[in-house]
């Protein structure tokens, strides 16, 4: 399969191939003209990562906007409507991933990724025109639909442009870009609102930035290395080196259409995948607090100022990025020492229990920065398990890793979609004067329990049980 293990010797060989001069195809052999591999693949990785950064900025910025009383009054939003506005994105994003990836396979990544970026940037800008809940809800659904195909398309881009031995590293860079965007969003949004004096202008700014990112992607990207005018034959050979004979640069689906039902049956019959689905769903019920309700809590729960709250939320998500970088090393280290079965499941479970402890500690913390530290632990613990989650899905998925990854990611985002209205429902009550009263401690307990369920289900995952034994290559 595409992510098959490669020996250190093979990795060293591709490193030498990357640096050594290679004869250009079509060159005059008699003249002995040689050329080193060009570096276009890194440009492709760069623009794909740039799109990932923007993806998360536009995904998370609304949570920061909705903490402002002036915005709530202008849009006539109560707590329930805010929760559903924040939830809307995740519903359409989760359900649109498989169709979004299919459309990119059908019409090409260059066209569709450009359309995706332009579309979600337009809808983000239009959010600044919202006049009420219905329009805001519809626009967030639209942003989710537009973004749904971005990561599946990015996966296809990397599979065609990155050598197989470097694909894991490239995937982590793109995922890390998303976390950078998520960390930037709270503080950059609050800072821009303070400078511009209007949240509507800030939404327009994000939309304009998106137009430039889309233009950059269209300019620099081509479907495959052979189509790029700056990608020489040496780089094309480097990218193709070590791939299975069945792997081609064609844009046709990896699996024939008639195999779809067979893959679905295999996926639905896997106990490990159902446990992973439960783990991802419940993880995101708790994690989504950080990207939806955290700005409101920092303002109303611990009385941080708008700008200070934006900085604190950025600190929380930045710490999470460190967990993302460490998670890959952790799961590989554990696998080599504990074997595939426990090397995948045990670190994942322990990371979820760490997040549980942080949430359960929050009711005893009073100061804004103490709470920020606890939320940072949640972010770190959650991201620490991301690499193990995706590695385990690849282990279990075998030759169907793409379908399995999409299936698991859908369940994770459904958990994020459920989170805001669920936490709003359990934590809000009516006071003696008829006003809504928020009990944040109840929300923290629900988030902590969701991570306990995630950790327990993770312990049952067996990465040695492929959905299609004997068909992993």
Full DSSP string of 396-451 = HHGGGHHHHHHHHHHHHHHHHHHHHHHHHHHHEEE-TTS-EEE-HHHHHHHHHHHH
Residue ranges of the chain assigned to CATH 1.20.1250.20 = 36-240, 262-473
Do residues 58 and 143 lie in contact, with contact meaning Cβ atoms separated by under 8 Å? yes
Closest C-alpha among 403, 99, 389, 387 to residue 268? 403
Do residues 37 and 238 lie in contact, with contact meaning Cβ atoms separated by under 8 Å? yes
302 alpha carbon, distance to own chain's centre = 29
Give the model's pLDDT for residue 216. 96
How many CB atoms lie under 10 A from the CB of residue 343?
Answer: 23
Residue keyed to tokens 């109840």: 442
Helices in 241-385 by DSSP H: which ranges?
A: 260-268, 271-292, 294-300, 306-361, 368-384
Residue keyed to tokens 């611990």: 302
Do residues 462 and 274 lie in contact, with contact meaning Cβ atoms separated by under 8 Å? no
φ, ψ for residue 437, nearest 5 deg: -120, 130
Run of H or E residues at 156: helix 150-161
Give the pair of three-digit tokens for residue 267: 């996926």
CATH, range 36-240: 1.20.1250.20
CA distances from 310 to 70, 147, 366, 389 (A): 17, 24, 18, 29
Give the model's pLDDT for residue 457. 96
CA 208/CA 196 separation, integer angstroms: 15
Run of H or E residues at 34: strand 34-35
CA 389/CA 276 separation, integer angstroms: 8
CATH superfamily, domain at 262-473: MFS general substrate transporter like domains (1.20.1250.20)
Q: If the chain, 473 residues long, is cut into consecutive pieces of 10 residues, what is the mean pLDDT of each piece?
A: 40 48 41 69 93 94 91 91 90 84 80 95 96 95 92 78 70 82 90 94 97 96 90 86 50 48 76 92 95 89 87 90 80 83 91 97 91 96 84 71 72 91 86 77 96 96 78 44
Give the model's pLDDT for residue 236. 87
Give the model's pLDDT for residue 246. 43
Do residues 419 and 427 lie in contact, with contact meaning Cβ atoms separated by under 8 Å? no
176 alpha carbon, distance to own chain's centre = 9
Work out the burial of residue 431: count CB atoms within 10 Å of its CB; fewer than 13 is exposed, 13-18 middle, 19 or more buried. Answer: exposed
Question: What residues contact residue 21 under an 8 Å CB cut-off, 6+ apart?
Answer: 34, 35, 36, 234
CA 373/CA 302 separation, integer angstroms: 13
CA 182/CA 68 separation, integer angstroms: 19
Closest C-alpha among 90, 80, 81, 104 to residue 59? 90
Residue keyed to tokens 């500690």: 361
pTM for the whole thing?
A: 0.72
Give the model's pLDDT for residue 123. 97
Give the model's pLDDT for residue 363. 93
Q: Return the SS3 of 460.
A: coil
DSSP label at residue 24: P
Do residues 445 and 280 lie in contact, with contact meaning Cβ atoms separated by under 8 Å? no
Do residues 163 and 239 lie in contact, with contact meaning Cβ atoms separated by under 8 Å? yes
Q: Return the SS3 of 35.
A: strand
Helix axes 386-397, 401-427, angle to 10 degrees: 140
φ, ψ for residue 35, nearest 5 deg: -145, 140
Do residues 110 and 222 lie in contact, with contact meaning Cβ atoms separated by under 8 Å? yes
């Amino acid at each position: 399969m595409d992510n098959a293990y490669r020996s250190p010797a093979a990795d060293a060989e591709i490193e030498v191939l990357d640096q050594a001069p290679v004869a250009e195809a079509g060159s005059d052999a008699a003249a002995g003209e040689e050329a080193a591999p060009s570096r276009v693949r890194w440009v492709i990785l760069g623009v794909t990562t740039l799109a990932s950064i923007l993806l998360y900025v536009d995904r998370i910025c609304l949570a920061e906007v909705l903490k402002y009383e002036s915005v709530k009054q202008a849009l006539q939003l109560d707590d329930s409507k805010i929760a559903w506005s924040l939830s809307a994105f995740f519903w359409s994003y989760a359900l649109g991933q498989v169709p979004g990836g299919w459309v990119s396979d059908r019409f090409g990544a260059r066209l569709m990724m450009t359309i995706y970026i332009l579309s979600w940037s337009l809808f983000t800008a239009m959010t600044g025109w919202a006049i009420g809940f219905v329009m805001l809800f519809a626009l967030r659904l639209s942003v989710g639909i537009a973004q749904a195909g971005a990561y599946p398309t990015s996966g296809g881009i990397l599979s065609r442009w990155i050598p197989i031995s470097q694909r894991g590293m490239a995937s982590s860079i793109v995922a890390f870009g998303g976390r950078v965007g998520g960390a930037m969003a709270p503080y950059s949004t609050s800072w821009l609102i303070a400078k511009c004096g209007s949240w509507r202008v800030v939404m327009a700014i994000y939309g304009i930035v998106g137009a430039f990112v889309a233009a950059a992607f269209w300019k620099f990207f081509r479907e495959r290395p052979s189509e790029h005018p700056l990608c020489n034959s040496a780089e094309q050979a480097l990218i193709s080196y070590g791939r299975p004979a069945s792997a081609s640069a064609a844009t046709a689906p990896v699996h024939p259409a008639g195999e779809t039902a067979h893959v679905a049956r295999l996926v639905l019959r896997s106990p490990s995948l159902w446990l992973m689905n439960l783990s991802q769903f419940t993880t995101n019920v708790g994690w989504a607090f950080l990207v939806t309700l955290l700005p409101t809590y920092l303002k109303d729960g611990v009385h941080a100022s708008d700008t200070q709250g934006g900085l604190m939320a950025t600190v929380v998500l930045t710490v999470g990025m460190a967990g993302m970088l460490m998670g890959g090393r952790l799961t590989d280290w554990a696998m080599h020492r504990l074997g595939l079965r426990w090397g995948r499941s045990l670190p994942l479970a322990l990371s979820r229990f760490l997040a549980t402890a942080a949430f359960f500690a929050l009711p005893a913390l009073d100061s804004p920065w103490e709470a920020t530290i606890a939320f940072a632990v949640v972010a770190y613990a959650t991201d620490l398990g991301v690499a193990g989650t995706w590695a385990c899905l690849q282990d279990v998925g075998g030759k169907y890793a793409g379908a399995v990854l999409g299936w698991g990611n859908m369940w994770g985002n459904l958990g994020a979609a459920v989170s805001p209205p669920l936490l709003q429902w359990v934590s809000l009550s009516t006071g003696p004067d008829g006003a809504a009263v928020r009990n944040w401690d109840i929300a923290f307990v629900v988030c902590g329990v969701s991570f306990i369920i995630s950790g327990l289900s993770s312990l049952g995952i067996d990465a040695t049980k492929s959905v299609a034994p004997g068909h992993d290559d």
